[in-house]
Amino acid sequence: MTCRLQARAITPAHGEIICGDMINGAHAIIFSSDAEADRSFFKNVLGFDSVDAGDGWLIFALPPSELAVHPAEAGKPGQEIYLMCEDVDRTVRDLESRGIIIERQFYDEPWGRLAFVRLPGGGRLGMYQPRHTRPVHRTKPAVRRRRPQAERP
């Protein structure tokens, strides 16, 4: 049998199991030469909520996400992370007004308008306004719990 994650309400084909509850999130990691400065950027500039996992290791909440798998390209990293926004030009203006360095070249691609932010730790973070179709994120239905037989009227 195969197993697929459910992104929208679909009916499974014969012999398939929908495993929407198997994976409940993703954890992205940005390696940084100045982790404190980059954590401050995500917390204080972008306003991402976070929890302290211990010893100051912040884990940030992200907006709904999506995953794409592309063929490997020579000289490109194995993984990349891009933040998405409704209007990349407005977002860039807002970030620049806060002293954030943005690479001057924007990229207009069929899939979106892309800019790169320089993180305080020296890293490069892509930010784009998508033009592509986005998956619909389903929400889990509320679980109705039945009272034990002894508690029922």
Spatial contact of 104 and 89, defined as CB atoms under 8 Å apart = no
Residues 6+ positions from 91 with CB-CB distance below 8 Å: 85, 127
Tell me: the pLDDT tens digits for 34-43?
A: 999 999 999 9
Domain count for the chain, please give it. 1
Residues 6+ positions from 131 with CB-CB distance below 8 Å: 109, 110, 111, 112, 113
Tell me: the pLDDT tens digits for 79-105?
A: 788 999 999 999 999 999 999 999 989
In terms of residue numbers, what domain contains 117?
16-65+79-136
Residues 6+ positions from 83 with CB-CB distance below 8 Å: 46, 125, 126, 127, 128
Residue 117: pLDDT band by 50, 70, 90 thresholds?
Answer: very high
Q: How far apart are CA 19 and CA 40, in angstroms?
A: 36
Q: What's the pTM?
A: 0.68
CATH number for position 114: 3.10.180.10
